[in-house]
Amino acid sequence: MSDIAQLESTILQDIAAASDEAALEAVRVAALGKSGSVSALLKTLGTMTPDERKAKGPAINGLKDAVNAALAARRDALKNAALDARLNTETLDVTLPVRESPAETGRIHPISQVIDELTAIFADMGFAVAEGPDIETDDYNFTKLNFPEGHPAREMHDTFYFNPKPDGSRLLLRTHTSPVQVRTMLAQKPPIRVIIPGRTYRSDSDQTHTPMFHQVEGLVIDKGSHLGHLKWILAEFCKAFFEVDNVKMRFRPSFFPFTEPSLEVDIQCRRDKGEIRFGEGEDWLEILGCGMVHPNVLRNCGLDPDEYQGFAWGMGIDRIAMLKYGMPDLRPFFEADMRWISHYGFRPLDFPTLAGGLSS
């Protein structure tokens, strides 16, 4: 075999053996680089006589072309192999469900959802939202609200008390959100229109009672506020909240220490195989208590009952959430079970609005 044929065979073997593009580039430099073996042969052409060049030129140029062609072919082969390897490792299963964006994976608890719904409905009627502490004084939770010392309601509520302070007074976990109304009346002048959603506590625990639960109360104080206004507000609320065009309501006389007169409110419903539908049927369901604010409460909160009057109502948020969304048991509300919250929870970006729909 001639020297040229020998060199070609060696280079082509090296090209075939190059296992990646870096190794192939090293073979190219060794052959066709500045001081490569093929370049050295090409340089000898310049020093040859015309006859020598005629005799050896085609073989040397043929070597260069053969090496270039083999390099190009090997480069393509390596590129294809690298792509095949990537395609084999980076597999994509197009049958998998689309993953939710991080902003969509959380769920809004039904209590938070219902508080957002209530807030949207009452904000539309001009109500502000007021908040206050969960730990209250006996004075704000009972005394100012016309529950005198020793009043049976103080025991009836089964209050969680803290240990007495040196002066004998005891802090407690509020048993209703009413102390926030007291704080509102003491802090701002009428007209007052507020709702107070929040946590409340009573020592009570069974299928339908948890020691911590949620209430929303409403308070309106002005010079001429009367039960007619209250009935309209409650009817508007019930229609908007239960998302029905009409709902019959029934007002029954009742008793609360902080209102006089006091009423309990039932709404029309139909019970159908364990399901409840509102705004139709012949059945009644109690949903809230209300009344005209007792003159003693107004006085205790710095308002003159001869100048101002108002009404208030209170209802259980947990209960109306269960009714609206068909949840049979209260206890899982507060057990932080991911399966329950994924089933009953609400999508975070579907914020309830009156225009956009409360729960759709």
- Residue closer to ligand 2NL (CB basis): 60 or 321: 321
- Residue closer to ligand 2NL (CB basis): 313 or 346: 313
The rounded Cα 333 to chain-centroid distance in angstroms is 16
Check: CB of residue 290 under 8 Å from CB of residue 265: yes
- Residue closer to ligand 2NL (CB basis): 64 or 229: 229
- Residue closer to ligand 2NL (CB basis): 264 or 350: 264
Place of tokens 């049927």: 281
Residue nearest to ligand 2NL (CB): 314
Stretch that binds ligand 2NL, among 45-53, 204-212, 214-222, 343-351 (CB under 6 A): 214-222
Residues in the chain: 360
Question: Does the footprint of ligand 2NL cover residue 258 (CB under 6 A)?
Answer: yes
**Which of 31, 315, 341, 358 contacts ligand 2NL by CB under 6 A?**
315
Q: Measure the CA–CA gap between 97 and 331, rounded to whole angstroms.
A: 33
Q: Within positions 279 to 298, which residues make up the interface with ligand 2NL, using CB under 6 A?
A: 289-291, 293, 297
Question: Does the footprint of ligand 2NL cover residue 234 (CB under 6 A)?
Answer: no
Burial of 359 (0-12, 13-18, 19+ CB in 10 A): middle
Least Å distance between CB 269 and ligand 2NL?
A: 18
Place of tokens 């206890």: 331
Strand-pairing partners, residue 137, are: 171
Rg of the Cα atoms in the chain: 42
DSSP 132-147: --SEEEHHHHTGGGT-
Binding mask 113-152 toward ligand 2NL (x if CB under 6 A, else -) reads --------------------------------x-------
**Which of 217, 323, 341, 358 contacts ligand 2NL by CB under 6 A?**
217
Least Å distance between CB 296 and ligand 2NL?
A: 10
Least Å distance between CB 130 and ligand 2NL?
A: 11
222 Rama sector, left if φ>0, alpha if ψ -120 to 50, beta otherwise = beta
Query: Can you read off the two tokens belonging to residue 1?
Result: 């075999």
Binding mask 295-314 toward ligand 2NL (x if CB under 6 A, else -) reads --x--------------xxx
Q: Measure the CA–CA gap between 113 and 217, rounded to whole angstroms.
A: 17
- Collect all residues with Cβ–Cβ distance below 8 Å to 150 and sequence separation of at least 6: none
Least Å distance between CB 181 and ligand 2NL?
A: 3
Question: Which amino acid, one-letter code, is at 273?
Answer: K
Residues binding ligand 2NL (CB under 6 A)? 145, 178, 181-182, 215, 217, 219, 256, 258-259, 289-291, 293, 297, 312-316
